[in-house]
Amino acid sequence: MANAKRILITGGSGFLGSHLCERLLEAGNDVLCVDNYFTGRKENIRHLLGHPRFEVLRHDVTFPLYVEVDEIYNLACPASPIHYQHDPVQTTKTSVHGAINMLGLAKRIKAKILQASTSEVYGDPAMHPQQEGYWGNVNPIGPRACYDEGKRCAETLFFDYHRQHRLRIKVARIFNTYGPRMAVDDGRVVSNFIVQALRGEDITVYGKGDQTRSFCYVDDLVEGLIRLMEHTPDDFTGPVNLGNPREFTILELAEKVVARLGSSSTIVHKPLPQDDPMQRRPDIALARTAFAWEPKVLLEDGLGPTIDYFKKVLGL
């Protein structure tokens, strides 16, 4: 393959990472998946294991890594609040030490490197919808800070390595993404609601459910990451928002899932977690103009394959 590259994906056994491994393999590349299996699972990549251009390494990115590749996608980090708050010190270490190690690696081997950043860098945003120029509203000492500030510091490190060592960097600010291979116990809202509705359990809406999120289907998101890495000039660094600009209240999502499944579940309200952002919707003008990306899959369409996946996993 003429344009085949050696590509490292950290967090490659997770939800997004496993889809990215698959897509980059299909495109003819050599893929090295690195993961410590904290929230990722071998099941997510089992179907790729026999592939001649696929390799897997159990490794924690807070430790140095010496490999030779052309590109690095740095996705390693738990993404669900229940998981990243389980061991918050490790979460910060993963983002910060992980970024330093992967940037040090990229510097030594002159690889291009992409950081999976997050809409959480905007915190509970005072600007709506969120544009990349907005600096955010993050509580630095709250329970979400290990994730938010870890990711903010990782962005800082990416831009300092870029300025100081001329590294080719790409920073994607990913908004809420859903789809097959989210873990059943992931705790994020789309997987929780679908699993609860399938089991006929109560649907747990935190707070009044008037907080909003914008949900992007995984295939769209992965396409955006690859375009950012492959179809932008070296001096295009981002940060760039990747997400679906259609915004829903959490109550609307709950109602959609219940109606879609004809479920007997009832909606119950639980306390709103501390520092839970009230609203979130990406402004994606930059991604549109810089690499002609916009999401194609409507929530109504993306829920289908996601529900099918959870039915299979739950044996229904």
- What secondary structure does DSSP assign to 238-284, as a single string? --EEES---EEEHHHHHHHHHHHHT----EEEEPPPTT--S---B--
The residue whose two tokens read 């981002």 is 238
Pick the stretch among 19-27, 32-40, 188-196, 235-243 that binds ligand UDP (CB under 6 A): 188-196
In the complex, minimum distance from the CB of residue 29 to ligand UDP, in angstroms, rounded to a whole number: 20
- Which of ligand UDP, ligand NAD, none has residue 115 at its interface (CB below 5 to 8 Å by kind)? none
84 is catalytic: no
Q: How far is the CB of 45 from ligand NAD (least distance, A)?
A: 9
Bond prior to 239 in cis (omega within 30° of 0): yes
| Residue 14 binding target from ligand NAD, ligand UDP, none, CB below 5 to 8 Å by type | ligand NAD
Q: Which is nearer to ligand NAD, 16 or 157 (CB)?
A: 16
Instruction: Scan residues 259-278 and list those touching ligand UDP (CB under 6 A).
Output: 273, 276
* Closest approach of ligand NAD to the CB of residue 165, in Å: 22
Asked if 129 and 282 touch (Cβ cutoff 8 Å), the reply is yes
Structure tokens at 305: 């394959």
Residue 273's binding partner out of ligand NAD, ligand UDP, none, with CB under 5 to 8 Å set by partner kind: ligand UDP
Distance in Å, CB of 186 to ligand NAD, minimum? 7
Positions touching ligand NAD (CB under 6 A) are 10-11, 13-17, 35-40, 60-62, 75-79, 94, 98, 116, 118, 174, 176-177
With binding defined as CB under 6 A, does residue 205 bind ligand UDP? yes
Candidate list 147, 161, 178, 217, residue with the active-site label: 147
In the complex, the smallest distance separating the C-beta of residue 2 from ligand NAD, rounded to whole angstroms, is 30
Q: Which is nearer to ligand UDP, 131 or 204 (CB)?
A: 204
The residue from 13, 92, 101, 117 that contacts ligand UDP (CB under 6 A) is 101
Q: Given candidates 11, 17, 78, 81, which one binds ligand UDP under the rule CB under 6 A?
A: 81
**Contact characters 158-177, ligand UDP, x per CB under 6 A:** ------------------x-
Q: Does 112 bind ligand UDP (CB under 6 A)?
A: no
Distance in angstroms (rounded) separating the CA atoms of residues 299 and 39? 25
Q: How far is Cα 103 from Cα 156, in angstroms, rounded to an integer?
A: 12
> What residues are annotated to the active site?
147
Using CB under 6 A, list all residues that contact ligand UDP.
64-66, 80-81, 100-101, 104-105, 107-108, 176, 188-189, 192, 204-206, 211, 213, 250, 273, 276
